């Protein structure tokens, strides 16, 4: 560097690239990464390059080389090339030792290293320099934390990969195609004049609902079996409260004990449904979500109180935890997504046609119909087509009516699958929630 360039660089001060708080953050992140590296590679026979001293120096070197020539980053790229050669030489040395002593890696208590993990981590430490200087601080923090988590999660990730079946991975791959390829290509213009819903909004609705259901499904399948029935019931409510009600009711019909736990689980699954509705509506229509929030939060609280009462009224009876509730099917199956899309399109067209023909009251007839099938298509249809303060509370009341009719249906399912003797208490609680829903509808309409 020339004397003028050095003076200009130093004169940049806090406004330049080397801001003090960024350097402090860089040192902290690289030291944190080095600590995790030392813990993971500490018991290797062949010490991997890197650690609590090397990584801060590498990160500072990357930052300085980038700051000296930020326009072309030539110095930084030259340093990256030197680091790459050094790591390649070390890796070649590691392979030569492994080939010379093929049995040592399988000896008890002896480990050579972690494959290419050491190389990648050194590169991450070096790249943290320019990233910390030029990007918002949450980006290098996220990179550092992610690298540490992946470094220490080798066994858990391999165990998870062995647990997940090939069919489920294939289904997830299809869904990622829908999100990453199909969704961006779908037109965002209305196709028919009856409804303003576009094909893009249809697919977006499928993506949102299926993603929420799938996250619940994954936790329910791989985590909930270790935590008991109530935990699974709550996740089942996020996945599908109707499906969870049917599964638990069937179990209640044959259970020898713990009826209080099964009854509480049925009501808990329905209670979480109100939270699911609020989340879905808030994604697409915040004003409608605000209009729904008081009623849905009140119904959620009432359901939780009822569930707690059903649980505690019989908690003195000792026994097993009642078993686990597993979701009936993978929610990311393409067939399920297509059925949901067709229902969504049908209800969107019905809402668009019925409103001008029969007025706002027609929504309640459609809501009652949706309540005996799947309320999500109606909820999303109303959320994406609602407009104007005058219609807002009618739309909110229609969504509440769909949830109420669905609760009545679940009460009937409970009596059917659990039997009159064992299903009367949880069905009565669901009917009570339906009555509270009717009261919420009347209060909501009164705000118009």
Mean pLDDT (the chain) is 78
Residue pair 27/97 in contact (Cβ under 8 Å)? The answer is no
Residue pair 265/248 in contact (Cβ under 8 Å)? The answer is yes
Residue pair 280/261 in contact (Cβ under 8 Å)? The answer is no
Give the alpha-carbon dihedral of 260, 261, 267, 268, to 10 degrees: 150
Give the alpha-carbon dihedral of 156, 158, 164, 168, to 10 degrees: 120
Residue pair 36/151 in contact (Cβ under 8 Å)? The answer is yes
Residue 114 scores a pLDDT above 60: no
Asked if residue 411 and residue 396 are part of one domain, the reply reads yes
- Where does a domain end: 160, 186, 207? 160
Higher pLDDT, 192 or 27: 27
- Where does a domain end: 99, 128, 160? 160
Asked if residue 57 and residue 174 are part of one domain, the reply reads no
Asked if residue 181 and residue 90 are part of one domain, the reply reads no
Residue pair 126/80 in contact (Cβ under 8 Å)? The answer is yes
Residue 318 scores a pLDDT above 50: no
pLDDT at 194: 63
Residue 107 scores a pLDDT above 60: no
Residue 352 scores a pLDDT above 80: no
Residue 430 scores a pLDDT above 90: yes
Higher pLDDT, 179 or 403: 403
Mean pLDDT of 27-35: 90
- Where does a domain end: 111, 130, 160? 160
Asked if residue 116 and residue 196 are part of one domain, the reply reads no
* CA angle at 265 for the pair 211 and 420, rounded to the nearest 5°: 125
Structure tokens at 154: 């080798």
Residue pair 197/188 in contact (Cβ under 8 Å)? The answer is no
Residue 171 scores a pLDDT above 70: no
pLDDT at 160: 65
pLDDT at 11: 43
Asked if residue 270 and residue 188 are part of one domain, the reply reads yes
Number of domains in the chain: 2
Asked if residue 194 and residue 113 are part of one domain, the reply reads no
Asked if residue 309 and residue 399 are part of one domain, the reply reads yes
Residue pair 83/126 in contact (Cβ under 8 Å)? The answer is yes
pLDDT at 38: 83
The model's confidence at residue 258, banded by pLDDT at 50, 70 and 90, is low
pLDDT at 240: 78
Asked if residue 234 and residue 141 are part of one domain, the reply reads no
Structure tokens at 341: 């899309």
Lowest mean pLDDT segment, chosen from 146-160, 161-175, 362-376, 414-428? 161-175
Residue showing tokens 């165990």: 159
Asked if residue 323 and residue 198 are part of one domain, the reply reads yes
Asked if residue 170 and residue 146 are part of one domain, the reply reads no
Please give the residue range of the domain that contains residue 305: 165-445
Asked if residue 243 and residue 227 are part of one domain, the reply reads yes
pLDDT at 6: 42
Summarised one tens digit per residue, pLDDT across range 115-143 is 678 888 899 999 999 999 999 989 999 89
Residue 109 scores a pLDDT above 70: no
Lowest mean pLDDT segment, chosen from 223-227, 303-307, 316-320? 316-320
Residue pair 62/76 in contact (Cβ under 8 Å)? The answer is yes
Asked if residue 74 and residue 19 are part of one domain, the reply reads yes
Give the dihedral sign, CA 131/132/137/142.
positive
pLDDT at 374: 74
Can you give the pTM of this predicted structure? 0.62
């Amino acid at each position: 560097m020339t004397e003028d360039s050095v003076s200009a660089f130093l004169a940049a001060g806090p406004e330049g690239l080397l801001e003090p708080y960024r350097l402090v953050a860089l040192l902290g992140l690289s030291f944190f990464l080095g600590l995790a590296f030392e813990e993971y590679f500490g018991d290797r026979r062949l010490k991997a390059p890197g650690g609590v001293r090397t990584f801060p120096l590498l990160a500072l070197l990357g930052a300085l080389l980038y700051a000296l020539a930020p326009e072309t980053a030539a110095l930084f790229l030259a340093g990256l090339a030197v680091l790459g050669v050094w790591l390649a030489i070390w890796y070649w040395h590691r392979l030569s030792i492994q080939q010379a002593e093929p049995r040592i890696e399988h000896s008890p208590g002896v480990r050579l290293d972690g494959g290419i993990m050491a190389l990648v981590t050194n590169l991450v430490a070096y790249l943290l320099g320019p990233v910390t200087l030029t990007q918002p601080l949450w980006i290098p923090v996220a990179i550092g934390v992610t690298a540490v988590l992946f470094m220490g999660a080798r066994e858990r990730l391999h165990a998870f990969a062995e647990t997940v079946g090939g069919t489920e991975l294939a289904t997830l791959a299809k869904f990622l195609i829908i999100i990453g390829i199909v969704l961006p290509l779908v037109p965002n213009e209305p196709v028919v004049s009856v409804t303003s819903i576009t094909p893009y909004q249809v697919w977006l609705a499928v993506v949102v609902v299926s993603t929420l259901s799938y996250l619940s499904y994954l936790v329910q399948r791989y985590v909930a079996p270790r935590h008991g029935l109530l935990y699974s019931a709550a996740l089942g409510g996020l996945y599908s409260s109707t499906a969870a009600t049917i599964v638990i009711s069937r179990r209640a019909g044959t259970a020898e004990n713990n009826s209080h736990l099964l009854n509480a689980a049925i009501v808990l699954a329905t209670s979480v449904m109100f939270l699911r509705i609020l989340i879905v509506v808030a994604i697409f229509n915040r004003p409608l979500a605000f209009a729904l929030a008081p009623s849905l939060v009140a119904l959620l609280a009432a359901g939780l109180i009822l569930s707690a009462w059903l649980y505690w009224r019989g908690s003195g009876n000792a026994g097993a935890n009642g078993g686990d509730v597993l979701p009936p099917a993978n929610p990311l199956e393409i067939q399920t997504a297509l059925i949901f899309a067709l229902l969504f399109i049908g209800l969107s067209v019905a809402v668009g046609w019925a409103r001008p023909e029969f007025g706002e009251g027609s929504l309640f007839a459609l809501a009652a119909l949706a309540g005996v099938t799947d309320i999500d298509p109606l909820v999303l249809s109303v959320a994406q087509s609602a407009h104007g303060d005058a219609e807002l509370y009618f739309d909110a009341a229609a969504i509440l009516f769909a949830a109420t009719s669905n609760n009545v249906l679940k009460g009937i399912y409970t009596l059917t699958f659990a039997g009159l003797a064992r299903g009367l208490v949880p069905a009565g609680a669901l009917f009570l929630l339906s009555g509270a829903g009717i009261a919420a509808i009347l209060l909501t309409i009164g705000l118009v």
